[in-house]
Amino acid sequence: MSGTTARTSHATTELRVRRGGSGDPERYDMYRVPYEEGMSVLDALVWVRAHVDSSLAFRYGCVNANACKTCMALVDGQVAYLCTARLAPEGAQVEPLPKRPLIRDLVTDTVPDDEKL
């Protein structure tokens, strides 16, 4: 017997995501997601919504062109674009922008007041 074993395990990591709407008690959900080097936090959130929790709310438009500016949130306490923030192998905590009115989960009202109809 050689003592070697074929490895078929897939890397995973964990996302800790703030959930709920304005006025709801503070709550975080944990999601175990497949991990690939270079993936974005947005990639992981899209995976969660497709495979685990279709109710998870977040915004994005251009995926990774950094053009639409709709995917801003806090990643490990820092303001970031979810589509360009690289997911670390040890995972990340994702929260809505703290200074914008919360709509739900990671979605905040980012339209300036003077641009509202």
Which 58-77 positions form the footprint of ligand FES (CB under 6 A)?
A: 60-63, 66-71
Pairing outcome for strands 92-95 and 12-19: parallel
- If we measure between CA atoms, which residue out of 64, 62, 74, 71 comes closest to residue 17? 74
Smaller CB distance to ligand FES: residue 12 or 84?
A: 84
Binding residues with ligand FES: total (CB under 6 A): 12
Of 55 and 66, which CB lies nearer to ligand FES in the complex structure? 66
49 is a site residue for ligand FES (CB under 6 A): no
Residue 45: strand, helix, or coil: helix
Q: Interface with ligand FES includes 107 (CB under 6 A)?
A: no
Dihedral sign computed on CA atoms, order 98, 33, 60, 28: negative
3-state percent helix, strand, coil for the chain, nearest multiple of 5: 10, 30, 55
> Considering the rule CB under 6 A, would residue 110 count as an interface residue with ligand FES?
no
Please give the residue ranges that form the binding site for ligand FES (CB under 6 A). 60-63, 66-71, 81, 83
